[in-house]
C-alpha cells in the first residue's frame, strides 16, 4: 500500500513538468502582453523594451521556460502585472476556492446520495419519478441562470443573506454559492447512486444479509450503500478538480476572488506567471484527488487491494 | 484491520491536499459613520502616479493626490491647486510658483523638489513608467529616456529648482497650453518616502490629497479615510471611502440593490433598461472625454490610394449611429459629429456637426460615394476589434449590418473578432491591419489638442492608422504656438476639418460615464474622466 502511494506520487513529477510546459506554451501563444499594459495609448518603445527584458520576454521560448522553472524551484512563481507576487495570489485564492468546493461537495454528497438511495430503493414509484424529473430540470438549467436567480431571490428580494461574498469568504457566506455550484453535479450524484443502488439491491450479498435477519437500516448503510458508492466516488473525485477550476461563473456572480477568477484575469491580461502558476496547482489537485479516489476504492470494497 | 490501514493512507493523501486550506483571514466589518462604499476594479499596474493610465488606479490617485492644477469637475477648466502661478513670456520657458502650506499626509512639506524629483522619476527609462511620454516635451527627456540604449543623464536639464517654492521648466518647443495639461495625474508631487522605501510606499501610498490610505489589500479592497490635516480648498465631505474590487459589474449592481454598496460607477449594459425603475434619479449618465471611432490603415495602399477618401466617407455615411447607440447602448453613447467630445464644451473646442454630412446617416449617398470612389477594395470590408469587453461584438455586427443594408450587395462587410485586448493591441501597434479597426480614446486632459495631435499628426504617439497630412501637421503646430486660447482652438478646429475631408477615422460615438448610488449618499457627480468626485459625496 505504502509503495503504491509512493509510486503514484513519483508519477506526478513527469506529469507536473509536462503540464507546466504545455500551459506555458499555450499562454505564450496568446501573444505579447506588454502592449496592452499601455491601455489605448501606443506603447512607448523604450519602456516596452525594458518591461519585456525584465519579464524575460525578449528571450526564446525554451529559455523563458527554463527560467520560469528555475524560479519555481526557488519558490518564486513570478509576479502579476499589478505587482502582486503569484504566490500571494495563490495563497489568497486557493483557500477560498477550496472552502467553496468543500461546501459544494458536502451538499452534493448529503443531498445527492440521500435522494439517490431513496429513489433507488423505490424504483418506479412516484418518489423515483419526481426525483428523476427534478434532476432533469436541475441539469438543464445553466449555472448562470440558477446563480443570478437565487442571488436575486435570497439576497435582494427576501434580503435573507448578503448577495455577494466579502474578501475573507467565510463558510457562512459560501453556502448559497456552494449550492449553486453543487446543483448540476448533485443531479449526477443522485442518478449515479440511484442506478447503482437499484442494481445492487438484488445482489446475493444483500439477500444473504436479509436472510441473516439484519435490520433494514444496517443492510442499507453497511452493505448496500458501501458497495454502491464506487461510481459516485469516482465521479466526485474528478468533480473536485472541475469544481475548483471551473467555478468561474459562480465566482463571478457572487464576487468570489477564487481560482477561476484569477485564471480569467490572468488570461485577459496575458500574464503567463499567473495562469501557469494557478493551473499547475490545479493539475496537482486533480492528481491528488484521483489518487484519493483510487485509495478509497480499497476502503469501500475490501476485495480491491494495492500492492 | 486491513480496512484501517486503507483509511490511514487515504487520510494521509487528503492531508497533503488540504494543507493549504488551513489559512484564513481575519474579518473586518463595515466601520465608522460617513463612509462611502464604492465599487472598484483591480488596477492593472501598481498604483503610482507615473505608471497609472486607467480609471481604477486613477480613482485612488485622484483622492490621495493634488497636483499643480486640477480640472473643475463641472467646467473642465484647469484651476490652480498647489500652484500659485505658472508664468511664461515665450510659451516655452515656464516658471512655476507653489502655494505655501501644502504638506504630505506624513508631515513632509510639498516643495519644488517634490515635483521635480517626481517628474524626473516618471521620465527615467529605468523606472519603466507607463506615463513617461507625458514628460517628453521637457528639455532633456531624450537623455533620460532614449529610444534605445541606456540613459545618459539622471535628471532632465529642463527642470531647475530655484527655491523651496519655485522651479522652472524649459520645453523642447513652444506649447502654449502646456500648463493646462498639468492637471493630469502623472504630474503630481511625491514625498521622499516614495524614493527611499518604494516597496513600502506601493503597499500604502502617501500623498498630499484630501484622503489617506488606511489599508490596502491588493486585488480586493482599499480603505481611504478623510485626512484631518488637509488644508486644500476641497476637503472631503465624508469620513472616507471604501473601494471594493468586484469580479463583475453586474455583481456590484446587485450589491447596490441589496444595500451593501453605496456607489457603482459602471452600470452594466444589461441593467440599463432597469436603471430608471431601480434607482430613479439616483443615476447619472453624462458625456466623458471618451471618443470611439474606426480607423483606416492608411499604411495600406488599398485604403489610401486617390479616390479612397470617397469610399471612407461613404462607409461613414452608411452607419446608422442613432439606432445603434439607442438599441445597443440605451443612450449611454451619443452619436459623434466631430473628433472630440462634448465633455470639452464649446469653449474647449467641441463643435457639434463639424463632421457635417459625412457623419450623417444617408444610405443612398453612401452607396453612390463608394461607387464613385472605385468601390470597396476587393469588394469587401472587414472590421477588426477585440471582443472581450464593452459589447464590441454587438456594435460591430450592427455597423456591418448597417453597411450591408446600405450597399445592398449581400454580406460584403464582415467582423474580424480578436479574443483579447492584448492580441488586438499587438496587431494595431504592429501596423498589421488590412481593414478598418476599432479605436477608443480616453483623453488625458480636457484639451482639444489631446484628441487630435496624438491620434492623427504625423508620428503621433497613438497614430495607429499612420495618417499623414502636411497641412494638418502645420495647423496643429501653429495652434500649439498660439498664446490666445480661442485662436488656438480655432486652429485646431481647422485641422479637424481636414479630418472631415479625408476621413482617416470614422467618428462613431462619444462614450458617457455613468453611476448609480444608494439613498444613503448624495451629491454624487462624475468628472470628465468618468471618475466619481469622491470628496464631494455626502453621507446621510
Taking contacts as CB-CB distances below 8 angstroms, the residues of chain B near A47 are: 125, 128-130, 132, 145
pLDDT band at B31 (very low <50, low <70, confident <90, very high): very low
H helix runs in B68-196, sequence order: 112-123, 141-144, 192-196
Instruction: Look at residue A307 in the predicted model and tell me its pLDDT.
Output: 61
Chain A: residue whose CA lies nearest to B450 = A41
Return the percent helix, strand and coil in chain B, to nearest 5.
40, 20, 40
What average pLDDT does this structure show over A182-188?
A: 90
The pLDDT assigned to B69 comes to 95
B217–A contact, CB cutoff 8 A = yes
Nearest chain A residue to B46, by CA: A82
Show the domains of chain A with their CATH numbers.
Answer: 2-73 (no CATH), 87-300 (1.10.3720.10)
Q: Band of the pLDDT at A83, cuts 50, 70, 90?
A: confident
d(CA B246, CA A290): 33
- What is residue B8's predicted lDDT score, i.e. its pLDDT? 54
Which residue is closest to A53 within chain B, CA to CA? B128
> Locate cell 518616502: which residue?
B193
Whether B187 has a pLDDT exceeding 90, the answer reads yes
Among A100, A30, A3, A4, smallest CA distance to A274 is for: A30
pLDDT in tens, B489-499: 999 999 999 99
B268 to chain A, closest Cα gap in Å: 13
d(CA B52, CA A37): 10
Q: Is the pLDDT of residue A232 over 80?
A: yes
Are A42 and B145 an interchain contact pair (Cβ–Cβ within 8 Å)? no
Q: How far apart are the first and last CA of chain B?
A: 68
Average model confidence (pLDDT) across chain B: 89
Any residues with CB less than 8 A from the CB of B31 and at least 6 apart, and which?
A: none
* Residues whose CB falls within 8 Å of the CB of residue B405, separated by 6 or more in sequence, listed in order: B363
The domain spans of chain B are: 1-64+209-282+518-540, 67-195, 286-513
> What pLDDT sits at residue A285?
86
Give the pLDDT confidence of B274-312 residue by residue, as tens digits: 888 999 999 998 889 999 999 999 999 999 998 899 999
Confidence of residue B14 (pLDDT cuts 50, 70, 90): very low
Min Cα–Cα distance to chain A from B38, Å: 14
A36: nearest CA in chain B? Answer: B422
- Report residue B416's pLDDT band, with 50, 70 and 90 as the boundaries: very high
Contact A177, A256 (CB under 8 A): yes
CA B270 to chain A, closest CA, distance in angstroms equals 13
Q: Where are the alpha helices (DSSP H) in B408-525?
A: 421-429, 448-456, 470-481, 485-502
Q: Do A41 and B388 touch (CB under 8 A)?
A: no
Contact A35 B45 (CB under 8 A): no
Q: Please name the residue of chain A whose CA is at the shortest distance from the CA of residue B127.
A: A47
| Average pLDDT of the segment spanning A70-80 | 86
Please say whether the dihedral angle defined by the alpha carbons of residues B484, B486, B487 and B492, taken in this order, is positive or negative.
positive
pLDDT in tens, A203-229: 898 999 999 999 989 998 888 988 888
Residue B147: burial class (beta carbons within 10 Å; 0-12, 13-18, 19+)? exposed
pLDDT exceeding 70 applies to what percent of chain B? 94
More confident position, A14 or A40: A14
Q: Is B416 on the interface with A (CB under 8 A)?
A: no
Mutant choice from A255, A293, A294 vs B, greatest count of B C-beta within 10 A: A255
Q: How far is A228 from chain B (nearest CA, A)?
A: 17
Mean pLDDT of B224-251: 92
User: What is the overall mean pLDDT for chain A?
Assistant: 88
Q: Which of A89, A253, A270 sits opposite B251 (nearest CB)?
A: A253
Query: Of the candidates B309, B316, B400, which has an alpha carbon nearest to the alpha carbon of residue B366?
Result: B316
What are the tens digits of pLDDT across the range B428-455?
988 989 999 999 999 988 999 999 999 9
Helices (H), B41-108: 55-64
Grid coordinates given for B402 = 448597417
CATH of region B1-64+209-282+518-540: 3.40.190.10
Q: Which three cell numbers stand for residue B116?
A: 521635480
Q: Are B390 and B329 in contact (CB under 8 A)?
A: no
From A83, A268, A288, residue closest to B202, measured CB to CB: A83
pLDDT digits (tens, 9 = 90+) for B204-235: 999 999 999 999 998 889 999 999 999 999 99
> Distance between CA B366 and CA B314 in Å, rounded?
4
Residues of B in contact with A83 (CB under 8 A): 45-46, 202, 218
β-pairing, B35-40 vs B240-245, is parallel
**Topology of domain B286-513, per CATH?**
Dipeptide-binding Protein; domain 3 (3.10.105)
Q: What pLDDT is stored for residue B361 in this prediction? A: 95
Q: What is the dihedral of CA B27, B33, B39, B41, to 10 degrees?
A: -60
pLDDT confidence of residue B26: 32
Which of A50, A84, A164 is opposite residue B218, by nearest beta carbon? A84
Provide the pLDDT confidence category of residue B20 given band limits of 50, 70 and 90.
very low
Task: Evaluate if residue A76 carries a pLDDT over 50.
Answer: yes
Helix (H, G, I), strand (E, B) or coil at B216: strand
Q: Do B257 and A164 touch (CB under 8 A)?
A: no
Q: What's the gap in Å between the CA of A169 and the closest CA on chain B?
A: 9
> Does B67-195 carry CATH code 3.90.76.10?
yes
Q: What is the mean pLDDT of residues A278-301?
A: 86
Whole-number Å distance between alpha carbons of B199 and A162:
35
Please give the DSSP secondary-structure letter assigned to residue B186.
G
Amino acid at each position: 500500500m505504502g509503495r503504491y502511494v509512493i509510486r503514484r506520487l513519483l508519477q506526478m513529477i513527469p506529469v507536473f513538468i509536462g503540464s507546466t510546459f504545455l500551459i506555458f506554451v499555450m499562454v505564450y501563444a496568446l501573444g505579447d502582453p506588454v502592449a496592452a499594459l499601455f491601455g489605448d495609448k501606443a506603447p512607448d518603445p523604450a519602456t516596452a523594451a525594458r518591461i519585456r527584458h525584465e519579464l524575460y520576454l525578449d528571450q526564446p521560448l525554451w529559455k523563458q521556460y527554463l527560467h520560469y522553472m528555475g524560479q519555481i524551484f526557488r519558490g518564486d512563481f513570478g509576479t502579476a502585472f499589478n505587482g502582486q507576487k503569484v504566490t500571494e495570489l495563490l495563497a489568497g485564492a486557493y483557500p477560498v476556492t477550496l472552502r467553496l468546493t468543500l461546501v459544494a461537495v458536502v451538499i452534493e454528497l448529503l443531498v445527492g446520495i440521500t435522494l439517490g438511495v431513496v429513489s433507488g430503493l423505490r424504483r418506479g414509484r412516484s418518489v423515483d419519478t419526481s426525483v428523476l424529473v427534478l434532476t432533469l430540470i436541475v441539469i438543464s438549467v445553466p449555472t448562470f441562470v440558477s446563480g443570478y436567480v437565487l442571488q436575486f431571490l435570497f439576497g435582494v428580494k427576501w434580503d435573507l443573506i448578503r448577495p455577494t461574498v466579502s474578501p475573507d469568504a467565510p463558510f457562512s457566506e459560501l453556502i448559497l454559492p456552494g449550492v449553486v455550484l453543487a446543483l448540476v453535479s448533485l443531479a449526477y450524484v443522485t442518478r449515479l447512486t440511484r442506478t447503482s443502488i437499484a442494481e445492487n439491491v438484488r445482489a446475493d450479498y444483500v439477500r444473504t444479509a436479509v436472510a441473516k435477519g439484519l435490520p433494514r437500516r444496517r443492510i442499507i448503510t453497511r452493505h448496500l450503500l458501501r458497495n454502491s458508492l464506487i461510481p459516485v466516488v469516482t465521479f466526485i473525485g474528478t468533480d473536485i478538480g472541475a469544481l475548483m477550476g471551473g467555478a468561474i461563473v459562480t465566482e463571478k456572480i457572487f464576487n468570489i476572488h477564487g481560482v477561476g477568477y484569477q485564471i480569467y484575469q490572468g488570461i485577459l491580461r496575458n500574464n503567463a506567471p499567473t495562469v501557469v502558476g494557478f493551473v499547475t496547482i490545479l493539475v496537482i489537485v486533480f492528481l491528488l484527488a484521483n489518487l484519493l479516489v483510487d485509495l478509497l476504492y480499497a476502503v469501500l470494497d475490501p476485495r480491491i487491494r494495492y500492492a | 484491520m486491513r480496512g484501517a490501514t486503507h483509511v490511514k493512507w487515504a487520510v494521509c493523501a487528503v492531508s497533503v491536499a488540504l494543507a493549504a486550506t488551513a489559512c484564513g483571514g481575519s474579518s473586518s466589518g463595515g466601520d465608522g459613520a460617513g463612509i462611502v462604499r464604492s465599487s472598484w476594479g483591480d488596477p492593472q499596474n501598481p498604483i503610482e502616479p507615473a505608471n497609472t493610465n486607467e480609471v481604477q488606479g486613477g480613482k485612488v490617485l485622484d483622492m490621495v493626490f493634488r497636483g499643480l492644477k486640477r480640472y473643475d469637475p463641472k467646467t473642465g477648466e484647469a484651476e490652480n491647486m498647489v500652484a500659485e502661478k505658472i508664468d511664461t513670456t515665450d510659451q516655452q520657458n515656464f516658471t512655476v510658483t507653489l502655494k505655501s502650506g501644502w504638506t504630505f499626509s506624513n508631515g513632509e512639506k510639498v516643495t519644488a523638489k517634490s515635483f521635480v524629483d517626481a517628474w524626473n522619476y516618471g521620465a527615467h527609462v529605468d523606472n519603466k513608467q507607463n506615463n513617461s511620454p507625458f514628460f517628453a516635451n521637457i528639455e532633456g527627456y531624450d537623455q533620460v529616456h532614449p529610444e534605445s540604449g541606456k540613459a545618459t543623464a539622471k535628471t532632465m536639464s529642463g527642470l531647475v529648482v530655484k527655491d523651496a517654492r519655485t522651479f522652472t521648466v524649459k520645453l523642447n518647443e513652444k506649447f502654449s497650453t502646456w500648463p493646462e495639461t498639468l492637471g493630469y495625474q502623472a504630474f503630481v508631487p511625491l514625498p521622499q518616502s516614495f524614493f527611499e522605501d518604494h516597496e513600502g510606499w506601493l503597499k500604502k501610498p502617501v500623498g498630499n490629497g484630501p484622503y489617506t490610505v488606511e489599508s490596502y489589500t491588493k486585488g480586493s479592497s482599499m480603505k481611504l479615510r478623510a485626512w484631518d490635516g488637509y488644508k486644500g480648498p476641497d476637503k472631503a465631505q465624508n469620513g472616507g471611502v471604501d473601494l471594493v474590487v468586484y469580479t463583475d459589474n453586474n455583481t456590484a449592481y446587485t450589491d447596490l440593490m441589496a444595500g451593501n454598496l453605496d456607489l457603482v460607477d459602471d452600470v452594466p449594459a444589461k441593467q440599463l433598461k432597469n436603471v430608471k425603475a431601480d434607482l430613479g434619479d439616483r443615476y447619472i449618465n453624462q458625456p466623458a472625454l471618451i471618443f470611439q471611432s474606426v480607423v483606416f490603415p492608411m499604411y495600406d495602399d488599398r485604403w489610401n490610394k486617390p479616390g479612397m477618401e470617397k469610399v471612407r466617407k461613404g462607409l461613414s455615411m452608411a452607419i446608422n449611429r442613432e439606432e445603434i447607440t439607442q438599441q445597443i447602448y440605451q443612450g449611454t453613447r451619443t452619436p459623434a459629429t466631430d473628433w472630440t467630445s462634448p465633455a470639452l464644451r464649446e469653449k474647449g473646442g467641441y463643435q457639434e456637426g463639424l463632421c457635417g454630412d459625412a457623419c450623417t446617416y444617408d444610405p443612398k449617398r453612401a452607396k453612390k460615394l463608394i461607387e464613385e470612389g472605385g468601390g470597396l477594395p476587393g469588394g469587401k470590408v472587414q472590421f477588426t476589434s477585440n471582443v472581450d469587453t464593452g459589447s464590441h461584438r454587438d456594435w460591430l455586427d450592427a455597423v456591418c449590418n448597417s453597411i450591408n443594408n446600405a450597399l445592398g450587395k449581400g454580406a460584403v462587410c464582415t467582423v474580424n473578432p480578436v479574443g483579447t485586448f492584448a492580441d488586438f493591441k499587438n496587431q494595431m501597434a504592429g501596423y498589421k491591419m488590412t481593414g478598418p479597426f476599432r479605436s477608443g480614446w480616453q483623453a488625458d486632459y480636457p484639451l482639444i489638442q489631446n484628441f487630435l495631435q496624438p491620434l492623427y499628426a504625423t508620428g503621433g504617439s497613438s497614430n495607429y492608422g499612420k495618417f499623414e497630412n502636411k497641412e494638418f501637421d502645420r495647423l496643429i503646430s501653429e495652434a500649439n504656438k498660439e498664446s490666445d486660447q480661442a485662436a488656438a482652438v480655432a486652429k485646431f478646429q481647422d485641422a479637424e476639418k481636414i479630418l472631415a475631408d479625408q476621413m482617416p477615422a470614422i467618428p462613431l460615438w462619444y462614450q458617457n460615464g455613468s453611476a448609480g448610488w444608494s439613498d444613503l449618499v448624495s451629491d454624487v457627480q462624475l468628472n470628465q474622466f468618468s471618475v466619481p468626485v469622491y470628496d464631494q459625496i455626502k453621507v446621510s
